[in-house]
Amino acid sequence: MLGQLIVSGLAVGACYSLLALAMVIIYKTSDVLNFAQGEMAMISTYVAFTLMESHHVPFQWAVILTFLFAILLGASFEFVFLRQAKEPTVLGLIIITLGFEMILMGFAGWKWGPDQRSLDFPVSNIETYNLFGLVMSKINFWTIVISLVLMFILFLFFRYTKVGVAMRATQQNQLAARVMGIRTKWILSFTWAISSMVGAVAGMLIAALGVLDPTMMMDPLLKSFASAVLGGMTSLPGTAVGGAMLGIIENLFGGYVSLAFKSVVAFAVIVLMLCIKPSGLLAKHYVKKV
């Protein structure tokens, strides 16, 4: 029972991790907390769904086209809306992303209606694997594998590619990065594109584990915030660990304490973490100097 709960919690947690990673990539670079992340992922998932359902595109091509769409969506949001904000406040930025979230949610509701749909994923969620005496559905297994691979790619990207290093430089000091010849504005658009793509993967996995409808991302959004806070908002490995931990904690709580109040756990985690160690598990804390 315990092992079972941990394993299925890990699969859900992997999805939270991916969504939280998408959020943290943006937060680190531009100090914008992206409330539209969930809805951007949802729209991308709907695009994949439409491609496969109405246009009969094979799965792998649908995924690639969805990635292109997600990249375009993220970069164009940054370009069209965020870049126009002059001297924005924290609240102003939050309002802009919230507004974008509502536009996307409204659009999805208008285009595809409120019906629940299921995304055709080539991995079955009924068949199971047997691993070390634990039963695990195939979809759970592949969710974990895909997330791990994606996280590893992200790690390599940020560590070894030129663009990745430029992104890290922009995070640390935008002005200095610009002086060094980095086109920081391009880097910002690029960050949004990558984040949107990571989010699209998370969206497809969440839709494959559950259902696809315009409000499906409400809950995962809060969970991924909790994961990001748990890992410390600015640390990518911390966020990955935080998501996995949250998934497991939540599942254990659901299994042993109360299933009904499972989704309150995320809030409790946020508040406890912020009260005890606001910097998160794996991030350095900077106190604002006057």
- Which residues lie near other proteins (CB under 8 A)? 27, 33, 35, 81, 84-85, 88-92, 94-96, 98-115, 214, 218-219, 222, 225-226, 229, 233, 260-261, 263-264, 266-267, 270-271, 274-275, 278, 290
CB of 128 to other proteins, least distance (A): 30
CB of 222 to other proteins, least distance (A): 6
CB of 201 to other proteins, least distance (A): 22
Q: Which is nearer to other proteins, 115 or 127 (CB)?
A: 115
Q: Which is nearer to other proteins, 70 or 213 (CB)?
A: 213
CB of 17 to other proteins, least distance (A): 16
Q: Which is nearer to other proteins, 50 or 125 (CB)?
A: 50
Q: Which is nearer to other proteins, 140 or 199 (CB)?
A: 199
HEC assignment per residue over the chain: CHHHHHHHHHHHHHHHHHHHHHHHHHHHHHCCCCCCHHHHHHHHHHHHHHHHHCCCCCHHHHHHHHHHHHHHHHHHHHHHCHHHCCCCCHHHHHHHHHHHHHHHHHHHHHHHCCCCECCCCCCCCCCEEEECCEEEEHHHHHHHHHHHHHHHHHHHHHHHCHHHHHHHHHHHCHHHHHHCCCCHHHHHHHHHHHHHHHHHHHHHHHHHHCCECCCCCHHHHHHHHHHHHHHCCCCHHHHHHHHHHHHHHHHHHHHHCCCCCCCHHHHHHHHHHHHHCCCCCCCCCCCCCC
CB of 69 to other proteins, least distance (A): 17
Q: Which is nearer to other proteins, 163 or 218 (CB)?
A: 218
d(CA 131, CA 245): 21
CB of 259 to other proteins, least distance (A): 9
Question: Are 126 and 140 a contacting pair, CB within 8 Å?
Answer: no
Q: Which is nearer to other proteins, 160 or 286 (CB)?
A: 286
Q: Which is nearer to other proteins, 47 or 146 (CB)?
A: 47
CB of 253 to other proteins, least distance (A): 13
**CA triplet 79, 37, 188: central angle to 5 degrees?**
35
